[in-house]
């Protein structure tokens, strides 16, 4: 947890929340009371993914969709929701085995977001960033995100023999991507900053000893993100980027991308 505090704050520029519930450390990226939560535990893994819906009716709708698809859904109590700073919360486990939280009404802070590295994060209307997941049930995971949750396919790719699908639920090119893999796990998550120099400064902070670099600076071919990948204290990747495209649903067409990057991103995620 100390390493995450150092990495998230002093390398990435996230703001540690002062008063955390027992056993967790939260970080702000914007006006929300927090966007990331770290739990003390024995394993280094993604605990859960939070998906925001607009309101109570939206939560009822997603619960109905999940139950129609045969998933068991837990409707959390008002107290459980309040402990997470949200008005409504429901939880399920998807067919890949990932814990998914669906919520609405997150607390908005009245205190300004103050980054320890003067970073500002691109989140407005587009959430935290994106998460890339490895799944052993690729076809079913793709069906789940599109048919059940209503995500839209942005494009596809192959990494060697493995299929990759990029999915969006707002103008961000992808909020989740799925990689066909033997076992489930998190590949990386991404946060986007508002200026290119913030990427360079975070890259310097890693090079100066803040964290290892898994893949060096480069620009992705599909979302055009200028980014690099740091190794988080938990071992998986963190993409830190700027300049991702915004998708216009009325004109976007799905393509199969020949490779992940236009240039750069040299290195390895393992
Ligand atoms: Fe990414």
Note down pLDDT in tens along the chain; length 270 residues.
Answer: 999 999 999 999 999 999 999 989 999 999 999 999 999 999 999 999 999 999 999 999 999 999 999 999 999 999 999 999 999 999 999 999 999 999 999 999 999 999 999 999 999 999 999 999 999 999 999 999 999 999 999 999 999 999 999 999 999 999 999 999 999 999 999 999 999 999 999 999 999 999 999 999 999 999 999 999 999 999 999 999 999 999 999 999 999 999 999 999 999 987
Q: Would you say 170 and 121 are in contact if contact means Cβ atoms under 8 Å apart?
A: no
Q: Ligand 1 centre and the CA of 225: distance in Å?
A: 8
What per-residue confidence (pLDDT) applies to 194? Answer: 98
Q: Ligand 1 centre and the CA of 53: distance in Å?
A: 22
Q: Ligand 1 centre and the CA of 178: distance in Å?
A: 11
All residues with CB under 5 Å from ion ligand 1: 190, 239
Max intra-chain CA distance, the chain: 51
Q: How many angstroms separate the Cα of 142 from the Cα of each of 49, 125, 147?
A: 16, 23, 8
Signed CA dihedral, 165, 228, 45, 8: sign only: negative
Q: Ligand 1 centre and the CA of 134: distance in Å?
A: 13
CA distance 267 to 270: 9
Q: Ligand 1 centre and the CA of 261: distance in Å?
A: 11
Strand blocks (E) in 15-109: 15-16, 24-28, 36-39, 49-52, 74-75, 88-93, 99-104
Q: Ligand 1 centre and the CA of 262: distance in Å?
A: 14
**Of 189, 193, 195, 213, which is closest to residue 203 (Cα–Cα)?**
213
Domain architecture of the chain: domains with CATH: 2-104 (3.10.180.10), 130-262 (3.10.180.10)
Q: Ligand 1 centre and the CA of 120: distance in Å?
A: 18
Q: Ligand 1 centre and the CA of 32: distance in Å?
A: 22
**What is the chain's length?**
270
Burial class (CB in 10 A: 0-12, 13-18, 19+), 254: exposed
CA distance 28 to 78: 23
Q: Ligand 1 centre and the CA of 115: distance in Å?
A: 22
Q: Ligand 1 centre and the CA of 188: distance in Å?
A: 7
Q: Ligand 1 centre and the CA of 239: distance in Å?
A: 6
CA distance 60 to 224: 35
Task: State if pTM tops 0.95.
Answer: yes
Q: Ligand 1 centre and the CA of 173: distance in Å?
A: 10
What per-residue confidence (pLDDT) applies to 99? Answer: 98
Q: Ligand 1 centre and the CA of 121: distance in Å?
A: 15
What per-residue confidence (pLDDT) applies to 260? Answer: 96
Residue where the block lists tokens 């890949």: 96
Q: Ligand 1 centre and the CA of 228: distance in Å?
A: 9
Q: Ligand 1 centre and the CA of 182: distance in Å?
A: 20
243 φ/ψ angles, rounded to the nearest 5 degrees: 90, 25
What per-residue confidence (pLDDT) applies to 5? Answer: 95
| Nearby residues of 77 by Cβ (< 8 Å), 6 or more positions away | none
What per-residue confidence (pLDDT) applies to 259? Answer: 94
What per-residue confidence (pLDDT) applies to 270? Answer: 76
| Nearby residues of 215 by Cβ (< 8 Å), 6 or more positions away | 228, 229, 237, 265, 266, 267, 268, 269
């Amino acid at each position: 947890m100390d390493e995450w505090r150092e990495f998230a704050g002093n390398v990435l520029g996230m703001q540690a929340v002062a008063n955390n519930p027992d056993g967790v450390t939260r970080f702000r990226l914007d006006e929300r009371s927090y966007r990331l939560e770290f739990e003390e535990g024995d394993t280094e893994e993604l605990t859960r993914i939070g998906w925001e819906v607009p309101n109570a009716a939206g939560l009822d709708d997603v619960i109905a969709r999940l139950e129609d698809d045969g998933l068991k859904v837990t409707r959390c109590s008002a107290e459980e929701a309040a402990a997470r700073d949200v008005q409504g919360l429901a939880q399920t486990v998807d067919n890949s085995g990932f814990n998914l939280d669906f919520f609405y009404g997150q607390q908005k802070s009245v205190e300004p977001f103050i980054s320890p590295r003067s970073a500002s994060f691109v989140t407005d209307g587009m959430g935290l960033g994106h998460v890339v997941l490895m799944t052993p049930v690729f076809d079913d995971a793709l069906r789940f995100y599109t048919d059940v949750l209503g995500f839209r396919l942005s494009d596809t790719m192959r990494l060697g023999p493995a299929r990759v699908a990029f999915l969006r639920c707002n103008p961000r090119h992808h909020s989740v991507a799925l990689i066909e893999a033997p076992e489930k796990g998190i590949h990386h998550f991404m946060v986007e900053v508002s200026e290119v120099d913030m990427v360079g400064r975070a890259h310097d902070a890693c090079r100066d000893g803040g964290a290892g670099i898994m893949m060096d600076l480069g620009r992705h071919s599909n979302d055009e993100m200028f980014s690099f990948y740091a190794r988080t204290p938990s071992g998986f990747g963190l993409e830190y980027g700027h300049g991702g495209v915004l998708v216009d649903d009325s004109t976007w067409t799905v393509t199969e991308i020949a490779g992940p990057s236009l240039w750069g991103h040299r290195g390895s995620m393992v």
